[in-house]
């Protein structure tokens, strides 16, 4: 699927259809294009590291987003959420490969992140990226943490998910009260 992006007119065109695009979508598209270029360049230059582990993702989220992993169900599955609005931006799980439709034995660590629908198809074409497991497949994607998805792509998708879920704080919170009490 090929999209043409007109940053001046804030429009995204696919075939004969044109869609208005908000600034956040255009920024995500532009940043993603830069990320894909850097990933491709690194692969050509022989770059690459060991697969990003769950512990590394927890450390990265703590440093980058100032959030700690929460373990609401068990010791194998955790979430990251915004401090202000409490929305999830990532869900990490350990599931059998076969539940993901992959003909392979054993479990795999995955992380689900939110992704804009306009970028969904392009990201799903990347190695290690699948439709969201146990999530809305129109808005979430699953990243395999077994080395098939590049670390830079994982970080990029976490950033996009963080941005997409960083809305207003839930009503009733301290932030909501201070906003309404402006004098």
Per residue in 20-44, pLDDT tens?
555 445 445 544 444 444 444 444 4
Flag whether 31 is in a domain.
Answer: no
Taking the CA atoms of residue 124, residue 84, residue 52 and residue 98 in that order, the dihedral angle to the nearest 10 degrees is -50
How much is the pLDDT for 13? 56
Prediction pTM value: 0.66
In a domain, 169, yes or no: no
pLDDT of res. 70: 93
Give domain status of residue 12, yes or no: no
Q: Is residue 182 part of a domain?
A: no
Q: Is residue 91 part of a domain?
A: yes
In a domain, 36, yes or no: no
Q: Residue 64's pLDDT band (boundaries 50, 70, 90)?
A: very high
Cβ atoms of residues 66 and 83 within 8 Å: yes
**Poorest-confidence range of 4-8, 55-59, 164-168?**
4-8
Q: What is the CATH number of the domain that holds 55?
A: 3.90.1150.30
Model confidence band, residue 158 (pLDDT cutoffs 50, 70, 90) = very high
The whole-number pLDDT of residue 8 equals 52
Q: What's the angle, vertex CA 155, arms to CA 149 and CA 161, rounded to 5?
A: 105
Structure tokens at 33: 């294009």
**1 within a domain of the structure (yes/no):** no
Residue 21 domain flag: no
Ranges of beta strands (E only) in the chain are: 4-6, 11-14, 17-20, 78-81, 88-96, 107-114, 129-131, 140-144
Tell me how many domains the chain contains: 1
Range of the domain at 84: 49-164
Backbone angles phi, psi at 16, to 5 degrees: -90, -5
Instruction: Please give the share of the chain, as a percent, with pLDDT higher than 90.
Output: 43
Q: Which residue has the higher pLDDT, 144 or 28?
A: 144
């Amino acid at each position: 699927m090929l999209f043409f992006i007109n940053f001046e007119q804030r429009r995204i065109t696919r075939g004969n259809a044109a869609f208005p695009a908000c600034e956040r979508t255009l920024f995500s598209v532009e940043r993603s294009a830069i990320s894909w270029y850097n990933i491709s360049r690194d692969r050509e230059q022989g770059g690459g590291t060991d697969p990003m582990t769950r512990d590394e993702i927890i450390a990265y989220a703590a440093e980058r987003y100032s959030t700690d992993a929460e373990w609401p169900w068990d010791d194998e599955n955790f979430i990251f959420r915004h401090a202000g609005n409490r929305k999830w931006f990532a869900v990490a799980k350990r599931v059998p490969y076969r539940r993901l439709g992959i003909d392979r034995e054993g479990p795999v660590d995955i992380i689900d992140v939110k992704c804009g629908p306009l970028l969904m198809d392009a990201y799903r074409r990347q190695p290690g990226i699948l439709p969201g497991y146990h999530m809305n497949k129109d808005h979430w994607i699953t990243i395999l943490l077994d080395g098939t998805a590049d670390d830079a792509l994982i970080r990029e998708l976490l950033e996009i998910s963080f941005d997409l879920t960083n809305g207003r704080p839930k009503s009733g919170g301290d932030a909501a009260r201070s906003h309404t009490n402006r004098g």
